[in-house]
Amino acid sequence: MSAENRTSWFVCLCLFTALVSAAFPATGQATSAQPIRLSVDATRAPQKILHSNLQIPASPGPLTLYYPKWLPADHSPDGPISNLAGLRFTAQGKEIPWQQDDVDMYAFHLDVPKGADSVDVSLDFLLSAPGATIDFSASGSSKLLILMWHEVLLYPAGRPANQITFEPALRLPPGWKFSTSLPVASQSGESITFAPVPLDLLVDSPVQSGEFTKVIPLTPGGKPPHELDVAADHAWALDIPAELVEGYKRLVAEAGALYQSHHYRDYHFLLTLSDNTIGLGQEHHESSDDRVPERTLVDPGKRLLEAGLFPHEFTHSWNGQFRRPEGLATSDFQQPMRGGLLWVYEGLTTYLGTILTARSGLWTPAETRESLATVASTLDHRKGRTWRSLQNTANAAQILYFAPKEWTSYRRSTDFYEESVLIWLEADVKIRTQTRGKRSLDDFCRAFFGGPDGLPVIKTYTFDDLVSAMNATAPSDWAAFFHERLHSVDPHAPLGGITGGGWRVVYNDEPNVMIEADQQASGNGDFTSSLGLVVKSDGAILDATPGMPANDAGLSPYMKIVGVNGRQFSVDDLKRALQDAKANSRPIQVLVSNIGSFETHDIVYHDGLRWPHLERVNGTSDYLDDILKPLAGNSPAP
């Protein structure tokens, strides 16, 4: 899904793999075990239409076909069915009437006529452009396409996804090239036939394609192969800085040193540089679908914000793909998922992604500390934590992913990403402290994510399995440790990992480099830890935290600040007003537009600009520094 603001946490995909084989009741009309032929015509992708033909083996009688609904991408039931068009069914050359289920909108019912042994399906998928809300159909531009197979297929009810074989084929626009983890059976020009593949693995294997592409091996001659596949809207964007490629090579080495296993045949970082697709990071077993704005690699601020994308998505190959919470490992794309362990699936991944970003030199230790300070400050100013537990943010992920940005502090967001960084840091520090540095969360990772190498398989776990593995690393009451933090409604964030790691959070008027980079990229003004206010460049208020000065003064989301202390609003003018207010006793006066009315509000605040940082606590063990050190023996870039 998308890289969010400030500290760039990633909302990601997970999908089914070959070991998911829950008992699955047969429903509807029995279908043949023969492969389903799927032919996708993407030659009109620049015109925003993908055409798909399927030949589905079937026998006469009622048949139910599904459009994938629960997309592990978002751990949510949001398959983009509204962009499905032109749906037609035929058998033996004759049209078959169909009905959409009147309760389950993702199910289609039809009757296979006598004498037929298959049904032909013809459908279009309508691509879109990035908008204000998450929209996975925004996956193509005039120059490139990321084909997500689940968008262009139906599959028969009655069998688990790992027992339905597809024979996929794809036709691309003239001159376009492609990259994917799917094995290719044959190719003729822009027409590609892939080897037969189970549905779960097909959906787990997007195809990146485009006019401007580049392939950069990251482990030349090594096994398994890892490569960086780049597609962009313009040729100039393919010029990846050499030091960045070196950083990605170190990332592969550091992940190898941390996990000491791999669960893929080869691995593709599918990097798309475009302003015309939805920005996201989606994890797969053997690839990641990483989409960032076109200038990300040449703009230092954007590059800093997105540096953690590859480490996060790559980590998911182990945490999320190979090891998957039981509630998220469903047998097909229609079964509801339970997100209770997303604080492990996404949260531990965010922690491990953070430390791998540092260990591979994609962030300096100082930048990593700025990121941690931002996480700590953000979560410490979440008003909603007094009514909604972190556990609830995981349980309600399917709602929170799609909630508006307005009122984030009071509603809370998908905080199981970022807050879990603090919790897993505390767990890591606790293990190191308890064992006097002999063991760490690295040992847990080697044990929990280890296993047979080389194939994209899944091994599910429960909370109890996790606690057992933690106990095997360093005995403690880990169940209580996690429960206390997951169910807390304390107004303050859990900062024990930072203090136990030898650091503390401080606030001063020195800009935080991560928040500064985000403000540069978004144009927003982030006054979270001073006024309790986030405002867009045009004055529109995104958030005003209850109990903090801006909200106390009467401001709220959906108002628009038009003036500050008698001047026309700008983010810089508001910053200046905070600095001025530090030296006098006058309130900061703001003029706001509130749905057609103008209002004046006085913000009583005199503490100036306040940005979070980490400060070393002298005389304590610097476990945080130990955690961020490379394991692989190759020093990160200066």
The DSSP 8-state label assigned to residue 385 in this structure reads G
Closest CA to 500 of 378, 367, 418, 621: 621
Contact status, residue 543 vs residue 526, Cβ threshold 8 Å: no
Looking at residue 227, the DSSP 8-state letter turns out to be E
Q: Which is nearer to Zn ion, 233 or 346 (CB)?
A: 346
Q: Where are the alpha helices (DSSP H) in 236-362?
A: 242-259, 300-306, 309-315, 342-345, 347-359
Nearer to Zn ion, 12 or 376 (CB): 12
Of 209, 146, 141, 149, the closest CA to residue 175 belongs to 209
**In the complex, what is the shortest distance from the CB of residue 283 to Zn ion, in angstroms, rounded to a whole number?**
6
- Least Å distance between CB 323 and Zn ion? 13
Binding site for Zn ion (CB under 5 A): 10, 12, 346
Nearest distance from residue 337's CB to Zn ion, in Å? Answer: 14
- Cβ(403)–Cβ(427) below 8 Å: no
Strand partners, 54: 38, 121
**HEC profile of 538-586:** CCEEEEECCCCHHHHCCCCCCCEEEEECCEECCHHHHHHHHHHHHCCCC
- Give the count of alpha carbons within 13 A of 435, CB side only: 18
Closer Cβ to Zn ion, 10 or 318, answer by number = 10
- Beta-strand pair 191-194/165-171: antiparallel
* Residue number, 10 or 212, with CB nearest to Zn ion: 10
Output the CA angle 254-257-261, nearest 5 degrees: 115
Q: Which is nearer to Zn ion, 233 or 283 (CB)?
A: 283
Q: Smallest distance, Å, CB 69 to Zn ion?
A: 20
CB of 128 to Zn ion, least distance (A): 23
Q: How many helices (H) and strands (E) does the chain have?
A: 19, 32
* Structure tokens that stand for 363 in this block: 């962030």
CB of 282 to Zn ion, least distance (A): 8
Say if CB 325 and CB 395 are below 8 A apart.
no
What is the smallest separation between the CB atom of 320 and Zn ion, expressed in angstroms?
7
Cβ closer to Zn ion: 344 or 628?
344
- Beta carbon nearer to Zn ion, 146 or 513: 146
Burial of 195 (0-12, 13-18, 19+ CB in 10 A): exposed
SS3 178: strand
C-beta of 348: minimal distance to Zn ion in Å? 10
**Min dist. Cβ of residue 35 to Zn ion (A):** 32
Q: Which C-beta is closer to Zn ion: that of 317 or that of 529?
A: 317
Identify which of residues 10 and 149 has a Cβ nearer to Zn ion in the complex: 10
Closest CA to 201 of 533, 457, 534: 457
CA dihedral of 161, 162, 168, 174, whole degrees rounded to 10 = 80
Characterise 281 by phi-psi region: left (phi > 0), alpha (psi -120 to 50), beta (else).
beta
Q: Which is nearer to Zn ion, 290 or 346 (CB)?
A: 346
Report residue 300 as tokens: 């230092």
Q: Output Rg (C-alpha) for the chain, integer angstroms.
A: 25
Q: Which is nearer to Zn ion, 329 or 592 (CB)?
A: 329
Q: CB of residue 400 vs Zn ion: minimum separation in angstroms? A: 14
Residue in the block written with tokens 């195809």: 207
C-beta of 14: minimal distance to Zn ion in Å? 8
**Quick one: CA torsion of 465, 468, 473, 475, rounded to 10 degrees?**
160
**Eight-state DSSP code of residue 140:** B
Task: Round to whole Å and give the CA distance between 468 and 478.
Answer: 9
Q: Looking at beta carbons, which residue is closest to Zn ion?
A: 12
Min CB(251)–Zn ion separation in Å: 16
CA distance 511 to 405: 23
Identify which of residues 12 and 96 has a Cβ nearer to Zn ion in the complex.
12
Contact 273, 231 (CB under 8 A): yes
DSSP letter assigned to residue 409: H
For Zn ion, the closer CB: 12 or 280: 12
Question: How many CB atoms are located within 10 Å of the residue 58 CB?
Answer: 22
State which residue, 164 or 400, has the beta carbon closest to Zn ion.
Answer: 400
**Rounded to the nearest whole angstrom, what is the least distance from the CB of residue 74 to Zn ion in the complex?**
10
Least separation in angstroms between residue 494's CB and Zn ion is 21
The two structure tokens encoding residue 429: 């520090």
16 or 503: whose CB is closer to Zn ion? 16
Q: Compare residues 69 and 75 and give the one whose CB is closer to Zn ion.
A: 75
Q: What's the min distance (Å) between Cβ of 339 and Zn ion?
A: 12
> Given its phi and psi angles, is residue 442 left (phi above 0), alpha (psi -120 to 50 degrees) or beta?
alpha
List C-alpha distances in Å: 471 to 325, 482, 494, 637: 18, 13, 21, 36
Extract the tokens encoding 333: 């794309």
Closest distance of CB 316 from Zn ion, Å:
6
